Amino acid sequence: MPIPVIIGDKEYLEDINITAEQLFESQRQGAAFPKTSQPSMGKMIELCNKLHAEGYEAIIDITLSGGISGYNETLQNIARNNPEYHLYPYDSKITVRLQGYLVLAAARMIKNGLTPEQIIKHLDEIRATIDELFVVDNLKNLSRGGRLSNASAFIGTMLHIKPLLTFKDGKIVAFDKIRSMKRAVSKIESIALERTSKLDYKDKLRLFVFHSNDAKQAAGIKDFISENFPGLPIDVAEFSPVIATHLGEKSIAIAWMIDIDKIDLTK
């Protein structure tokens, strides 16, 4: 279900008729500040009706973190009011690409004949391995989107402070502040090394670099990861338009999770 991005009085659908690059260009051209919304309840029910009519026994919907979106809560209400769907809303407690690997894992488990309850149990185990560290170049977007306080945004912008952020209980939280982007990136690189070194499955990780229109910086971080995690898979991708709306341009992130190609999803 594509999430709407609203600019002025126009609604766009993520990666259908707007990209992150187009979003940033619209801002440079003076467009209204972007906002995001949930998919409409009508569209969600329409999709559930379609799947139910086609004979699917259950629906597992893996959603954007409930800490930054009300989508999961809306699905919980649909599930309670429509038990015939056998709808299982699952809170990824994270965002797009990492969320996507949970979807791939669930799909493999469905193919292997696991029940929804077994799938949810495995998803919990995989989700527990996910971690992400990120830096935003400017706090304006997070502040205006209601993800950080206006006071924090004002101080950060005035002093050129780059906050170090992570997900905690599905919510975006700041845990440190660094004076420059270069130092901030170096800091999250060192924290990533420290945190992953303590994992008993560190040789089974998949690592990620995300960026908002800053491929050069992302390439440098990828080189750092390749050097320090030789032989492990690394995904490099841009933040989606919805996430970019809240983080702003030049944001950067390092993330990791257990590689679903290296775990048993058959039982």
CATH topology of domain 131-262: Hypothetical Protein Tm841; Chain: A;domain 3 (3.30.1180)
Q: Which residues is 91 bridged to in the sheet?
A: 63
Q: What is the arithmetic mean of pLDDT over 46-75?
A: 94
Q: Which residues is 62 bridged to in the sheet?
A: 90
Query: Can you give the pLDDT at residue 154?
Result: 55
Asked if 98 contacts 126 with a C-beta cutoff of 8 angstroms, the reply is no
Q: Tokens in use for 16? A: 């259908």
Query: Can you give the pLDDT at residue 82?
Result: 96
**Range with the lowest mean pLDDT among 42-56, 167-181, 210-224?**
167-181
Give the pairing type, strands 234-238 and 205-211: parallel
Q: Tokens in use for 178? A: 């660094």
Q: How many CB atoms lie within 10 A of CB 262?
A: 13
**Domain extents in the chain:** 131-262
Give the 3-state secondary structure of 100-146.
HHHHHHHHHHHHCCCCHHHHHHHHHHHHCCCEEEEECCCCHHHHHCC
How far does Cα 13 stand from its chain's mean position? 17
Asked if 162 contacts 184 with a C-beta cutoff of 8 angstroms, the reply is yes
- Express as a percent the part of the chain with pLDDT over 90: 62
- What is each CA distance from 137 to 40, 126, 147, 190, 218, in whole angstroms? 32, 30, 15, 19, 14
Query: Can you give the pLDDT at residue 147?
Result: 56
Cβ contacts of 230 within 8 Å, gap of 6 or more: none
Q: What is the pTM of this model?
A: 0.91
Per-residue pLDDT band for 200 (boundaries 50, 70, 90) equals very high
Q: Using the structure block, give the residue that is written with the tokens 């329409």.
A: 46
Query: Can you give the pLDDT at residue 155?
Result: 61
pLDDT of 54 above 80: yes
Query: Can you give the pLDDT at residue 150?
Result: 43
